[in-house]
């Protein structure tokens, strides 16, 4: 999670195996911290009470209003996507993890701590 400027605010612990993003989000309990202000998310989070872009109807097209709504939502999401991409620039995260797998949670925690530290001086 990050703010609308792309400043990292929170990162969940890694989940085991191939866990879908929506399941991982539910496991974190993060949405409980936003009872009155739904977070902005991509289409993968549709149905969770978050602000997401409109999906194109089957065998149909979006209206101009829906397209404009999606552009507005996507502009809000862009800093979030940049924050995620920035995390992935850490070499240890964008190459195959070569250390013992049981060390991965500590490694990701360290990377996130360093990222928060770096951003505190930005």
**40 CB neighbour count, 10 Å cutoff:** 19
Query: What 3-state DSSP class applies to 52?
Result: coil
HEC profile of 41-92: CCHHHCCCCCECCCCCCCCCCCCHHHHHHHHHHHHHHHHHHHHHHHHCCCHH
Intervals of the chain under pLDDT 70:
122
> What confidence score (pLDDT) does residue 83 get?
87
Domain ranges across the chain: 21-119
CA neighbours closer than 13 Å in the CB half-sphere of residue 25: 18
Asked whether the whole model's pTM tops 0.85, one would answer no
> What confidence score (pLDDT) does residue 95 get?
79
């Amino acid at each position: 999670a990050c703010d609308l400027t792309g400043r990292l605010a929170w990162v969940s612990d890694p989940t085991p195996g191939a866990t879908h993003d929506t399941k991982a989000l539910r496991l974190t309990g993060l949405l409980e911290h936003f009872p009155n202000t739904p977070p902005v998310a991509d289409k993968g989070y549709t149905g969770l009470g978050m602000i997401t872009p409109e999906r194109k109807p089957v065998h149909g097209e979006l209206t101009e209003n829906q397209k404009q709504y999606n552009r507005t939502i996507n502009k809000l999401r862009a800093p979030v996507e940049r924050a995620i991409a920035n995390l992935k620039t850490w070499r240890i995260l964008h190459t195959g993890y070569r250390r013992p797998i049981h060390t991965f949670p500590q490694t990701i925690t360290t990377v996130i701590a360093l990222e928060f530290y770096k951003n505190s001086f930005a």
